[in-house]
Chain A
């Protein structure tokens, strides 16, 4: 049974408490699992064993690491702003956990005799709640970088906040298409809207194509996937933590439990964007075609399994990217976000809105085709009459470039400088010349 918004208002308080606790524990376990999963997958892709010592096949490595961290010595820099230095990791971790409250895991089930949906809560605008939580999470990063009172964390914090804000715009725009198709901003209703697939008959084989928005809104899905990687500061967009430039990024000065909180927040953010991706584009907890042949696939607790499988698949793609792609340069990254992702997204939304309006309005066929034809004509005219950029001026010569330098620039050596050979080279040349012995003797 699909949950509605009414389902959540009927929850008893202890059911809500159980669900909150359940999500908390599940997130902690998923984080521990994901760290190990990532290390093992990356290791396998790099043809090395990876962690294999602690626990069965090394699967307890992240648990022991997590237990070790709080017992380490806590070092606070003397120049730090103590209060904010303390608050920043708390903000990061809190926002990361909160965002998960509106992710649906499954349909209505029975817990201790109470009918309740497998989702902590839902509001009519719950996708906005996730976005708001992730945008509040930026404070953790930027304040951590600033409050450390140190240069590299400050630079790392600035980079990451710029990056997260930029890619959040693209992410928000890619979700707009989902809102338009489903007609709702509530996560449970978006999942329900993707539930009913269409009957497709292909080569005499009848099956139900998934009503997934990843298929229907493929451009949005691609843009969401890219901006999700940018938003979570993961490779190939992990510029805020670029080890070669910034030591460790915004958390360079953090140690012990506070560092553990940042680590936790980063992985939970990864899980959250994967879960949101599953919810918005991959059909949420609904099973896909081969499984739906079994009629009980979307009932009871089974959907939680399909949901987790989809989330793990998304996480695998994250890890795969990290193992495959080199880090981008900062200016390339920003140009890509602002000049490619956002404009493409805007055009796509306009296109989709037009199609939706044409579909829903009761226009006659002739008017409809006239409108489409007019739109195509306008696009073609704009493309043809677009002022082709002026011919680029010939590149200035070296002397002109030097003359154009502002006052107070660094001194340049003269361009026609002839470097005299160093005295040592001259001496070596002289030593190698054979002495003319015979003529010397004859004079004496």
Chain B
């Protein structure tokens, strides 16, 4: 176990733990804050794996913009301080689906890789990522951006209402 392994395990534990707290807590705004911790831990994972660009973009976009917007929407509609008792639905369907998906993925990945050592790639510089995204994976990238664009347009159409 090297230092990097320990860091990876610790950050993974933080990410999973705070992810569980997101769905378990009764405090609406604190759930958003646990999401921040979770995404921050994932950014830390990227940093340990020497993918600096991805890590900081994760912080910039997900932590700094997406969750802020989530909190923003929560506060625009209702901003309860303290517990929100009315939010809790029966937990067992979510527990079955979430637990099943988690265990299934874990089994799948553990079975696929066993104890194979994967050599660490080169550090994720902007050049390498640009090369990968705009050369090798350009089609999925463009399809994804069209999907996002249509979601954006759809959101505007839905929110405008009938005219």
Q: Which residues of A contact B (CB under 8 A)?
A: 79-81, 84, 123-125, 128-129, 131-132, 135-136, 138-139, 142-143, 145-147, 149, 154, 157-158, 161-162, 165, 168, 172, 185
Q: Produce 1/0 per residue, B100-140, CB < 8 A to A.
A: 00000000000000000000000101100000000000000
A159–B53 alpha-carbon span in the complex (Å): 30
Interface size on B, residues (CB 8 A): 25
6 pairs across A/B with beta carbons < 8 Å? A128-B56, A129-B56, A135-B60, A149-B81, A158-B76, A161-B72
CA distance A128 to B63 in the complex (A): 13
Contacts A124-B126, A161-B72 known; 7 new A-B pairs at CB < 8 A = A84-B29, A124-B125, A128-B56, A136-B64, A146-B81, A147-B81, A158-B75
| CA gap between A147 and B123 in the complex, in Å | 40
Q: Are B59 and A136 in contact (CB under 8 A)?
A: yes
Distance, CA A161 to CA B76, complexed state (A): 12
Q: A interface, by DSSP: helix, strand, loop or mixed?
A: helix
Kindly list chain A residues whose C-beta atoms are within 8 Å of the C-beta of B30. 84
Are A125 and B56 in contact (CB-based, < 8 A)?
A: yes
Task: Point out residues on B near A: beta carbons under 8 Å.
Answer: 29-30, 33, 36, 52-53, 56-57, 59-60, 63-65, 68-69, 71-72, 75-76, 79, 81-82, 123, 125-126
Chain B contacts for A168, CB-based, 8 A: 64-65
Known: A125-B53, A136-B63. A146 touches B29 (CB 8 A): yes
Cross-chain contact of B64 among A79, A125, A138, A154 (Cβ < 8 A): A138
3 A-B pairs with least C-beta separation: A135-B64, A128-B56, A132-B59
* B residues near A143, Cβ cutoff 8 Å: 29, 33
Known contacts A125-B126, A142-B71, A146-B75: A132-B81 contact under CB 8 Å = no
Supposing A123-B52, A142-B75 touch, asked if A165 and B59 sit within 8 A by C-beta, the answer is: no
CA distance A411 to B36 in the complex (A): 47
Contacts of B59 in A (CB 8 A): 132, 135-136
Q: Which residues of A contact B29 (CB under 8 A)?
A: 81, 84, 143, 146
- Which residue of A132, A149, A162, A185 contacts B60 across the interface (Cβ within 8 Å)? A132
A154 to B76, CA, bound (A): 9
In the complex, chain A residues whose CB is within 8 Å of the CB of B79: 146, 154
Across the interface, do A154 and B53 meet the contact criterion of CB distance under 8 Å?
A: no
Are A81 and B82 in touch, CB under 8 angstroms?
yes
Closest to A85 in B: B81
- Give Cα A128 to B129, complex, Å: 15
Smallest distance from the beta carbon of B98 to chain A beta carbons, Å? 27
